[in-house]
Structure formats: C-alpha cells, structure tokens
Amino acid sequence: MPTANLIDLNDVVHHASGQPILSVARLCLPPGHHGLLLGPSGSGKTTLLHALAGLLVPHQGRLSLLGHDLRAIGDAGRDRLRADHVGIVFQQLHLIHAVSIADNLRLARRLAGKAPDEKGLKELLIRVGLADRMSALPADLSQGERQRVAVARALVNQPALLLADEPTSALDDANCDGVIDLLLEQAALSGATLLVATHDRRLMSRLPVLLELVKPMERAA
Ligand SMILES: Nc1ncnc2c1ncn2[C@@H]1O[C@H](COP(=O)(O)OP(=O)(O)OP(=O)(O)O)[C@@H](O)[C@H]1O
Ligand SMILES: [Mg+2]
C-alpha cells in the first residue's frame, strides 16, 4: 500500500502587510527523508514551518500533511493533526519559564490531550542528558541545555514530523555538530522525520537541501 507523503505542498504564497513573504512552488517529503529548508534571513523559513505545522494557513496554495489537506480540515483539525503528528523546536524555544523542565514536557502532553506518561518522560530526559535536572526551571539551565529540553518537549507526543527552526545559527562548529547529532539521533529513536529550517550553510554537509528559499520580493525584482 503506498504511504502518504508526510508533506505535499503546491504553489503556496503567504502575505503580510500587503507584501508576499513566502512563495514556494513545490515541496514533497516522503517519510524518513530528513532534510533542510535553506534560505537567508527574511526568506520565509519560519513562516513556512508554521504553515507546515498548521499554525497559519497560507493565503494561496495547497498544503497537505500525512494526506490531510490543511486548509480543508479547519482550525480544530489542524490542532489535532499537530498534536498527534508534529513536534516543533521553535527558533525562540518558547519554554514555559514558570515551571520545571519536567512540567514543560508534562504540559506538552496534556495540551495535546494525551495521558500522562512519566516513564516516557523520564526516558526522553535521559536521552537528552537532563534526567538529573527534571526539577530545574528553564532559567537555571544553560542555553544548550534549554535547547535540549525544547528537543525533548518536541518529541514528547511521538511525532511523525520533527521541525526545528534555526537550531544552530548562533553556535560554534563543535556545538553546531552536537545539536544536529542530537536532532538526528532523537528523530531516529522516535521514528520521526526531521526537517530543519536554517540559513546555516554548515548544515549542508549533514542533511540534504530539500528547498532553497529566496525572498519573494527579490525573486520578483
Ligand atoms: N506578521 C507579520 N507582519 C509583517 N511582516 C511579517 C510578519 N511575519 C513575518 N513577516 C516578514 O516576513 C518575512 C519572512 O519572515 P520569516 O520569519 O518567515 O523569515 P525567516 O526566513 O524565518 O527569517 P530568519 O532567518 O531571520 O528567522 C520577513 O521579512 C518578516 O519581516
Ligand atoms: Mg526564522
């Protein structure tokens, strides 16, 4: 039986303040094919990741995730699909600073409508090397450790698709390699497909480029 592509995107355009900020003719991602969305700052990478996660609906075009048309299924359908199948490591991490890192993971499960899974949570924190920091607040961790929490949180609902937005651009070469190793390793352990949006061309030696974005305004010029 043919497996649906994780992502199928055709002729997507999105505008903000009357200007095109994202324009993509085609993106197709079969399960298991990790890759990069490469593009300079302002080319629409975060906008595209948010569209793939169903956090925004592009003004034009067709976008499907696991065979579901993201426009047709409505807000509730997009929320459900995201909760069940997508994990996101946001550019600004967006950890909840008032609660412990374990509670950040617990909340992510609860918000997705999933039953608590203390064993799975502990295993994830062991995998990212933070099992002994479960009760720490995000503010008590280093930036690298916070990023590890964000990776663990993105995987807590066993997603099919792991999206990471600009995870390495502020890092030196050794830490850049470490973060990609972590994402690839954790995606493999979770059976997730990894899609990284970045302007960091160092990552081209680690993952195939699936799409190179240009600023729509520059393309038109
Ligand atoms: N809500 C908005 N209103 C107006 N402009 C917006 C809005 N959201 C994004 N933009 C603009 O759209 C463009 C694409 O933004 P986006 O954040 O997707 O780029 P990016 O490729 O992720 O950039 P970076 O590498 O700096 O994170 C930018 O020029 C940004 O200023
Ligand atoms: Mg961005």
Q: Is residue 69 domain-resident?
A: yes
Q: For residue 2, how far is its CA from the centre of ligand 2 (angstroms)?
A: 33
Looking at residue 3, its pLDDT comes to: 60
Looking at residue 220, its pLDDT comes to: 62
Q: Is residue 1 domain-resident?
A: no
3-class SS string, the chain: CCCCCCEEEEEEEEEECCEEEEEEEEEEECCCCCEEEECCCCCCHHHHHHHHCCCCCCCEEEEEECCEECCCCHHHHHHHHHHHHEEEECCCCCCCCCCCHHHHHHHHHHHCCCCCCHHHHHHHHHHCCCHHHCCCCHHHCCHHHHHHHHHHHHHCCCCCEEEEECCCCCCCHHHHHHHHHHHHHHHHHHCCEEEEEECCHHHHHCCCEEEECCCHHHHHC
Please tell me the total count of domains within the chain: 1
Write out the residue range of the structural domain in which residue 173 sits: 7-220
Is the Cβ atom of 133 under 6 angstroms away from ligand 1? no
Q: How confident is the model at residue 35 (pLDDT cuts 50, 70, 90)?
A: very high
Report the candidate in 179, 215, 190 with the shortest Cα–Cα distance to residue 89. 179
Instruction: State pLDDT tens for residues 115-162.
Output: 999 999 999 999 899 999 999 999 999 988 999 999 999 999 999 999
Q: Is residue 64 domain-resident?
A: yes
Is the Cβ atom of 39 under 6 angstroms away from ligand 1? yes
Q: How confident is the model at residue 1 (pLDDT cuts 50, 70, 90)?
A: very low
CATH of the domain at 189: 3.40.50.300
Is the Cβ atom of 168 under 6 angstroms away from ligand 1? no
Q: Is residue 45 domain-resident?
A: yes
Instruction: State pLDDT tens for residues 198-213.
Output: 999 999 999 999 999 9
Report the candidate in 63, 62, 111, 54 with the shortest Cα–Cα distance to residue 86. 54
Q: Is residue 2 domain-resident?
A: no
Looking at residue 169, its pLDDT comes to: 83
